Structures are given as C-alpha cells and as structure tokens.
Structure 1
Amino acid sequence: MNQPDSQPLSLTFDGPAQSKVHICRSIDDINAADWQSLAGSDYPFARYDFLQALEHSGCTNAATGWQPSHLVIHQQGQVTGIIPAFLKNNSRGEYVFDFAWAEAYQRHGQPYYPKLLMAIPFTPSQGPRLLLTPQLREILDSASLHKLLDTATTALGAHSWHLLFPNSADQALLCQPQTPDSSQLHRLGCQFHWHNAGYEAFDNFLALLTSRKRKSIRKERKQVSDQGIEFQRVSGSDISDRVLDGFYVFYQATYLKRGQQPYLNRDFFERLFRQMPEHVHIVIALKQGEMIASALFLSGTDTLYGRYWGCLDEYNHLHFETCYYQGIELAIDLGLQHFDAGAQGEHKLVRGFEPLLTHSWHSIEHPGFRDAIANFVAEEREGVRRYFEESKTLLPFRQTENDKGG
C-alpha cells in the first residue's frame, strides 16, 4: 500500500442535505471533543484515546496494513458523524475471515486489496461502528449509508468495503432488502457471552447450573488452587510497571507459541493504561509469589471485555480460571451486566456463556466474485443459524427445581 497523502480527502455525498464527508488519514486530524461527543464512554474501544493509542504506538499505520481512513460527516459546519475506518492491505487482526476470498482473487489474477474496513483493530467485540448524532441517525437511511461507504471505497481506490461487529442500532441502519444486483453481503457469526442475572457472588451463578456442570466447574477451580496458584486483581492507576512488564511477556508468548508476531507493542499498552485507567483491569496468576500468567480486561458501562491473556508454562485449567471464572467474578464485583470474553470458543458454552449472533456487512465491487461470495455467505448464514440454535440446547442451566444437588 502506498503511503497516502496526509491531507483529508473530501467527498461529495448524495445523502442528507448540506452534508460533506472528509476521509482523515490520521485521528489527529479529528477534534478529540467532537469524536468523544459522538462515541460516548459506554464502549471503550470506540474512544478517541483507544484509537489514538493504537495509531501513536505504530500499531495502526500503512506499514502494518491498518492505514487510518476515518470518515467524518459535516453538516452546517458541525461534525455530526464519524465512522472509524482503515484502508487495509491484508486481513490480519479482523476475526471475520476473508482469506479464502483474497486467495480466490489472487488465483484469477485480480487484486483483492486494498479494502476499506470499518472495525476496531484487533477487537472482535460488538459495538458502535457508526458514531452519529441522534438527528443524523434519524434522517440517514440504509441506502444513503451504503452509498456513502461505496463512494468512500471508490475514492480510496479500494475494491470492497467491510463493516464488522456492529451493535444492534447500527445493524438496524445497515440492514436493507437484498436484491439480485445488490453488492452488499450480510454475514453472521456466533460468539458466547455471559450475562449477569443480578448475582452477588460466583456461587449464585453456579446455583443456576445443572448439578453435573456445577460440580465440574468447582472441580476445575479446585485443581487450579491445588497447584498452588493464587490470583490478584489490579485496576487502573494501580497497574505498576512490574505488572505491565509481566503481562506483556505473557501476551507476546501467546503469539510466539504459534510462530506469530503480536499485533500490539508495549508502547500501546503503556498509552492505554495511562490514558484510559478507569477502563483497564489485569488479573494476575501467582505461584509462590511469582507471576505465571495474566489476563487483561476492559470495562464499559455495562459490559466487561476479556481481551488478552498469556502464560509461559501450562497448568491444568489455568486458562479457564484466569480468563473466564476470574472474569465472571470481576463482572459481578463491578456490577456489569454482560461479559464478552472474546471470539469463538465452544468451551465457553458449557461454562454458562450463552450463544450470540454477530453481524458483518461486505460490499464486493467485482460482479463475478460478488455472485460467488454471495452464494457462500447465504449458505454460511444458514449454517451459523443452525449452530446458534443447537448451541442453545447445550447450555448448562438447570431446567427443573429437581436439579439442585451438588
């Protein structure tokens, strides 16, 4: 990908009256107060500070394949909408997989990249992707929104656009009737999230599970304890350099074990902890007083997000305890209603995490590939829906009052 011109790119937008759109190649080109007034504080990953930390630490730039290309909508001299976006020359760190699409393009001598991506880098968590004033959201229809994204894609010389993990409000705006010549494709995915039914403690949650599952979880937790492993929780400004050092070693190990390079550098985490202390929490696993593993969580207004974890040596059930059970306890203690522990993982299902459909939208410029991909996506949606329904039947919650033992 060529290094883009640093000046914002202006677009003509056939949308709401008196609207202008700029494509900004750096978050620094956007006023932080304007951004935050639209993003709010409910969802930490859409915060200006989070995306600025990614950019300033060098994690999102042309060299990493994440060139910031944020869409900023102006009406009557006011910023009324921002769509965080990136021009991509790879598909790493997205968690909605299109590698097979790119390979098919390559086999036929066609360019798949660059593509325009509306997503939070390296973050497969549902949330706002369209940061709009209520007034703009009221008058912006689906057709105009899709046209805006198509226009931005063309202006940037991209061959497709992709919007990943929108929340329900954005999904409602994105959804439009699919016609035979429609270039927009709707994909489904399935994640597993934990929900807080007003629990005061972990045992209150366990009480709602079947006896067999309840005993299994207690056994797993006891096996961790029997290995001499204890846990501490550190939040915000209490996270010391020593804790950060340990955490980053473990985080790197998760990738290096697979022969991969980590997406994020230490500078990013330093900036994150310094600029967003109220949102960050680290769970530390200790054995004989030494850190052996850790997991990083971010909190929003009503949801806890489990993001990064790692260890050097393997211990029985250490991953489940550090990432899931400690996360559930943290969500309960913080009074949060939901716990999103990350993408995939059927192992979450039997531990009380409930299936949730996720969405993504894709617009493919090439008509031949669009038809082939549309057929794939239609079949995939049906498969995901079947999987979602089947997963609901496997939840470990007890169905009758007779199952209270254990």
Structure 2
Amino acid sequence: MASSSTNLIVRAVASVADLDRAAWDALDHGPSPFLRHGFLRALEESGSIDPATAKKRRSGWSSLYLLAEQAGRLVGAVPVFLKEHSYGEYIFDWGWANAAQRAGLRYYPKLVIAAPQTPATGNRILLAPDANADDVRAVLIAAVRAVADDTECSSIHWLFCTRDEQAALAKAGFFPRATMQFHWHNRGYQTFDDFLGQLKSRKRKQLRKERERARTAIDRLSWIHGGELDAAQLDDLDRFYRNTTDQHGGRDYLRPGFFHALARYLPDAMRMVEVVRGEQRVAGALFLETDRGLYGRYWGADVHVDLLHFETAYYAGIERAIERKLPLFEAGAQGEHKLLRGFDPMPTYSAHWIRHAGLSAAIRDHTEREAAAIAGEMAEMAKLGPYRTAADGTPSSDDD
C-alpha cells in the first residue's frame, strides 16, 4: 500500500524474526516494553504467538506486522493479530461474540491490535520520533482496515491503546470503549515509609502488619536482573506461573520456553523477584522495568504463605518503584483489593470497528452504558481510597 501525497509505503511482515530489531525498537513505545522486539520474539519462539505464515498455528494469535516506510526508513508500525478466539485479551468481548452467534453472524476471525497475553496500556501505533504523526497514523489505520477486508474479518479491536490513540481512532470511524484497572503512582516518595505516611492510619497499620507477616515467614526476597538469571531460576519461574494458572482454572497463555526466551531477548527489562525459605526457592514473580514504569506480570508459589502474594506482587513492586524513582507501577488486570493497598482506579482505553451495521449499533449502545457505569464506579472508589489526601490534593474521608 502506498500514499503518493506523503511518499509513505506500507508493507507487511509475518514474523518478528524478519523485523529489523534496532529500527523497530527505535520507534516510540512509550513506557511499556510489551511490544519491544525482544518481548515479541520470546512470544513467537515459545509458540505463544504464531507468524501468519505458520503452517501449524498453536496459539490462536497469528501475527502480521504492518511497517510504514518513507524513503526506505521505518517511520511507523502496527502489530496486528488475526484471532479465532478472545482468550488472552483482558478487554472482554465474549458477550459480543455470543450476541453475534445468536443473530446468526460470524464473529471470528477478527483483528486485534494489542500486546499479546498482556493487559498493559501502551502505544499501539508505533511512530518514529521525527515522523509526521498524523500522516503515518492515517496510512497505518487504513492499512489495518485493508487487512480486515482481505482476511474477511468481522471486526477490528485496538486494546489497551493510549487515550490519544483512542481519540485519533474515533476520527477514523472506531468507537471507544472504557474499562478500568488499578495503577500505583509515585507521588515523589523517597522511601516506602514516605508512601505509608500518606495513608490513613488504619490502612497504614494494616499494610505494615501484612508485610511483617509475609517477611517473617521467608528468609529472603531478592530482585534479579534478567541477564543474571540461570536456567534453574527460569525453570522455577515457569513452574510458579503454571501453578497459578492451574490453581485458578486459568489458561497458560505463555507456552513452555517463554521465560527462557525472554531472558535471552529482553534481559535489560526482565526482572525476577525470588523468594527463598530455608534453602529452597518457594515463590517468585516476573516484572518488566523500563526507565518510565514497572510492570508486574506473573506470580506463583510452590507453598502457601499467608500474604506472600501481596508482598511479592504489590509491596515489593511499590518499594522498587520508589527506589528506582519510577512514576508508574502497573500490577496487572483486575483486583479491587489493590485499591486499599495504594493503587488508584484508572481508565483504560480501547477502540473498535464492527463490520455488521446492526451488531455495531447494538454494541455501541452497550459500551456507552458501560462507560457511564464505570465512571460512576470509579467515582465511588475514589471516595474509599486509602490515602489521607487524594492525588489532586483534595482531603479524603476521615483518617480512620
């Protein structure tokens, strides 16, 4: 696809292995590392996603990378995935698929633009820092629509995009959807005690007790850089992940070999929190860290220790973000229990296009009502937060 007015050419690449790593990573990814070449390479090599040209597709995520080039230089890109299901997306459209089925309509395949298996906000239209953003976005959005037509997809879904991207997509005919997560924000704390000092007294005491109970039950909790992880640690991290999915009846979207591949291809961002009791590694969690954010992903354990999940997945992450002076800590999807532990309810964004006009109208109506309900829910949660003073300086409810 070419645009004569801008001299932009869009071409498609099926495998991340065929992308120029340096050129891809030089695009603006924002704080998030989940569309970095190394993360995508680890997903593909482990079979957690498949290139569109693969004869045997194992994951239900078939990748196609749309590259916008100008005078032979990469100036923008969009990672597109052809999907036959809705697993691993975390902005749920199962109800939409069921409505289509009841109406005798086909919902799959569909196109998804997202970080696979990862509920984290980030740029979905990757741009070179000096690119003409409007021109490159327009050409890439049109290219995504062309892929949907060529593959006879029922719909297009941009998931966990940024607020600005959602607005740009609305101008291109996509309707918005509002969802919610809980994120921790660094308000300039110097120590974990500074953070605790901003909490209401009862919550402050609760967090201290939870940390003490978890810490006294273990011997050591350590942060380990991805480049320093050995094979045994990576094997244990994989096992901890599968323990959690098994215990909660979930799906192990990340196939065996993913953690080893991530340590090879994205060591600078990869972190493991290792929990040791006695001489054994009994629990652990995967984090990814950039200079602008910390992202907690997968936690698991071989043994049950009261409150160790909170210590490993939340409190250790907050402490790390403070020590590293990181402004943001995202600890994954869902979890209203995060609210009382210092995480703020935050909107998350997506944008959608449905080919069938009748189904599109019905879903638009649903998302408008859904957005109003979520806004009301977030307003109520803001009143229940643990802070003595809200982020905007407004006094919270009584310090109880």
Q: TM-score, normalised by structure 2?
A: 0.90
- Counterpart AA for 1:374: R
Secondary structure (helix, strand or coil) at the match of 1:165 reads strand
3-state SS in 2 of match to 1:244: helix
Contiguous gaps of at least 5 residues in structure 2: 51-56, 390-394
| 1:41/1:47 contact within 8 Å kept | no
Higher mean C-alpha displacement, 105-114 vs 247-256: 105-114
Q: State which of 53, 63, 75 in structure 2 corresponds to 1:68.
A: 63
Instruction: Decide which of 283, 297, 300 is 2:287's aligned counterpart.
Output: 297
Q: 1:251 to 1:81 in 2, by over 3 A?
A: same
Match of 1:394 in 2: 384
Q: Give, in angstroms, the shift of residue 277 of structure 1.
A: 1.5
- The answer to whether the 8 Å contact 1:283/1:322 transfers is yes
**1:16-42 superposed Cα distances (whole Å, 9 cap, x missing partner):** 533322222212333223212214684
Q: Which residue of 2 aligns with 1:232?
A: 222
Give the distance between the partners of 1:76 and 1:218, measured in 2 at CA: 58
> What CA deviation, in whole Å up to 9, does each residue of 1:235-289 have, x standing for no partner?
2222122221221111011111233441112322111112222111111222223
Partner Cα separation in structure 1 for residue 399 and residue 381 of structure 2: 23
1:50 equivalent in structure 2: 39
Q: Which amino acid aligns with 2:330?
A: D
Residues 41-120 of structure 1 aligned to structure 2 (within 5 Å): 42-61=31-50, 62-120=57-115
- Aligned to 1:329, the other structure's residue is in SS state helix
Distance in 2 (alpha carbons) for counterparts of 1:355 and 1:219: 24
Report the TM-score when normalising by structure 1: 0.89
Query: How big is the shift at 1:156?
Result: 2.3
Distance 1:41 1:365 in 2: 30
Give the % identical residues.
39
Deviation per CA, 1:82-122: give whole Å up to 9, x if none: 10111111111000000111122223332111111110001
Where do 1:172-251 residues align within 5 Å?
172-176=167-171, 182=173, 184-228=174-218, 230-251=220-241
Q: Which amino acid aligns with 1:204?
A: D
Give the aligned partner of residue 121 of structure 1. Answer: 116
SS, match of residue 348 in structure 2: strand
Task: State the SS of the aligned residue for 2:27.
Answer: helix
> What are structure 1's unaligned runs of at least 5 residues?
1-10
Separation of aligned partners in 2, 1:240 and 1:74: 39
- CA-atom RMSD, angstroms? 2.4
The within-5 A match list for 1:371-382 is: 371-382=361-372
Find out whether 1:33 has 2:17 as its counterpart: no
- The secondary structure found in structure 2 opposite 1:85 is strand
Alignment partner of 1:80: what SS? strand
Per-residue Cα deviation, 1:317-356 (whole angstroms, up to 9, x for no partner): 1111110001111112222111011111111111111111
| Conservation of the 8 A alpha-carbon contact between 2:30 and 2:123 | no
Q: Does the CA contact (< 8 Å) of 1:208 and 1:398 recur in 2?
A: yes
- Give the 3-state SS of the residue equivalent to 2:41 in structure 1: helix
Shift of 1:194: 0.9
CA contact (8 A) 1:142 1:176 kept: no
The equivalent residue for 2:245 is 255
Equivalent position amino acid for 1:116 in 2:
L
Distance 1:244 1:141 in 2: 39
**Aligned partner of 1:106: which letter?**
Q
Tell me: CA distance 1:185–1:40, structure 2 relative to 1, closer, same or farther (3 Å). closer
Offset at residue 226 of structure 1 (A): 3.8
Q: Give the aligned length.
A: 389
Specify whether residues 402 and 151 from structure 1 end up closer, same or farther in structure 2 by C-alpha distance, changes over 3 A only: closer
Q: What is the aligned counterpart of 1:320 among 310, 335, 340?
A: 310
Which deviates more from structure 2 when the two are superposed, residues 232-241 or residues 130-139?
130-139
Task: Give runs of aligned pairs for residues 322-361 of structure 1, distance below 5 A.
Answer: 322-361=312-351
Task: State the one-letter code of the partner of 2:116.
Answer: P
CA–CA distance in structure 1, aligned partners of residues 360 and 264 of structure 2 = 44
Superposed CA deviations along residues 60-94 of structure 1, whole A, max 9, x for unmatched, are: 01331110111111233332211011111111100
